[in-house]
Structure 1
Amino acid sequence: MSTSSKPRRSPRKPKIVLSSTRLAELEALSEGMMRRNPELAEQLVEELGRARIVTPQRLRADVVDLGREVTYHDEATGKDHTVTLVLPQTADISNGLVSVMTPIGVALIGLAEGAVFHWETREGQRRELKILKVAPFEEETLQSA
């Protein structure tokens, strides 16, 4: 019998890349979130600590950043979802605008197309998600809605 069917214990987290200007912005957001949601703020701080920091000009177009539209596949449901990552004050889930200061927002920031990551929902369910596509957000689409 093969032992290759053993479940993997803790999958490695995918690499993340952030621009230097985004790093400062996210650090400030995490500080502000410490009182309201310390667990989420700590998750963001952990992600920031392991990020590779580049100049804004060197941030590749296929990396999730604020204002970029992200399509990801949820292995558990078999569905694809498209959202745009935004600052908390402009979040509007009914229009697909997801705050970077939510569990899924923290999980998505800095990932590149093709990355597979594990994410825990607010209900405690563990999901495997894969980034399918990252594209600039078309603001005209939202304004004409």
Structure 2
Amino acid sequence: MKTPSRSPTKPRIVLCEEDHDRLSALADAVADNAPDLADVLMAEMQRARVVKRSALPETVARMGSRVTFRTENGRERTVTLVFPKEADIALGRLSILTPVGVALIGLSEGQNMRWTGRDSTDHELTVLSVAQDVDVA
């Protein structure tokens, strides 16, 4: 008997209109220099449900959110999702133009996401908490 496997289906994500517009433009802007990452980001933008910012639940990771997640090896990390120019990993400010940044955007607390790292290795993360106390310019 075959053991059931996890579905490769990606979880539903939701974005506010502002993030969707800015991230779509960012994907277009980096398409020549980072085509693989631009394609992944644009694919996420295309599958996202887009809502007004006032309708976006507080538990959804958006630009400027502080997100705590657990990796498949049990390691917990807390990062703030930012645009590339504000990135500083030493301060926990993770660029959206990283594979894990793209994986986190639009996820809600409790959701899991499988993603592929720059080394072509598959990973999985689970969002533990989302805080909206950080603003991104």
Question: TM-score if structure 2 supplies the norm length?
Answer: 0.92
CA distances 1:1-41 after superposition (whole Å, capped 9, x unpaired) = x32x2544x51100110111111111110111101101110
| Cα RMSD for the two superposed structures | 1.4
The separation in 2 between residues aligned to 1:88 and 1:79, in whole angstroms, is: 24
SS in 1 for 2:79: strand
Report what 1:40 is aligned to: 37
What CA distance in whole angstroms lies between the structure 1 residues aligned with 2:4 and 2:54?
43
State whether structure 2 residue 98 is matched by structure 1 residue 94. Answer: no
Counterpart of 2:22 in structure 1: which amino acid?
E
Letter in 2 for 1:126: D
Bigger radius of gyration, 1 or 2? 1
Between the aligned partners of 2:82 and 2:17, the Cα distance in structure 1 is 17
Give ranges in structure 1 of 5+ residues lacking alignment: 140-145
How many correspondences in the alignment?
A: 135
Q: Runs in 1 of length 4+ with deviation above 6 angstroms? A: none
Residue 63 of structure 1 corresponds to 60
Corresponding residue for residue 134 of structure 1: 130
- 1:59–1:89 CA distance, 2 compared to 1 (3 A): same
Q: Which runs of 5+ in 2 are unaligned?
A: none
Letter in structure 1 aligned against 2:10: K
**TM-score normalised to the size of structure 1?**
0.88
